[in-house]
Amino acid sequence: MSRHPEVLWAQRADKVYLTVALPDAKDVSVKCEPQGLFSFSAVGVQGESFHFSLELYGKLKPEGYKTNVGLRNIICSIQKEEKGWWKRLLKTVDKPAPYIKVDWNKWYDEDDEESNSDWASDGDGVEDINQEEGSSEDEGMLYLPDLEKARGK
């Protein structure tokens, strides 16, 4: 029998973020299908199986997702097929499962995203697990003169 890890979600106009709280996960498998089906499976520290599938509100770009497996969680950045804000995460209007919660740390309202778009570096902050490391430590950092210029001082 598989269990459900806690899943946190947030969105932008072009992306949905799903953070799966599963420390030290092994054999992580993520699939995104164009019609909006998201599937996740992994094995926990003590060998327990975790699996869930979500029928997301809108359609997805199946090749447009990135997954970052960390020590404490798995972060998935999923590209929406069409830009726009979804009313909710899931297609169904029923109350979502208790393991699905809003990720207030990544949450933006539709109005907030427009005003903060100048500050976004590459958009999602999630690296593909297949990409090689090699960027400098301060890449994307704003230094004081740049910050003052951005504020218009």
**What pLDDT digit, counting tens, does each position of 85-97 carry?**
999 999 999 988 9
Least confident range from 12-16, 18-22, 74-78, 131-135: namely: 131-135
The pLDDT score that the predictor gives to residue 136 is 41
Q: In which band, very low, low, confident or very high, does the pLDDT at 107 lie, cut at 50, 70 and 90?
A: confident
Q: Which fold does the domain 7-83 belong to in CATH?
A: Immunoglobulin-like (2.60.40)
Q: Where are the domains of the chain?
A: 7-83
How far is Cα 68 from Cα 93, in angstroms, rounded to an integer? 29
Q: In which band, very low, low, confident or very high, does the pLDDT at 112 lie, cut at 50, 70 and 90?
A: confident
Handedness of CA 57, 97, 106, 121 (dihedral sign): negative
Q: CB–CB of 100/89 below 8 Å?
A: yes
Q: CB–CB of 55/32 below 8 Å?
A: no
**77 has pLDDT over 90:** yes
Q: Which residue has the higher pLDDT, 46 or 150?
A: 46
In tens, the pLDDT along 10-63 reads 999 999 999 999 999 999 999 999 999 999 999 999 999 999 999 999 999 988
DSSP 145: H
Q: What is the pTM of this model?
A: 0.72
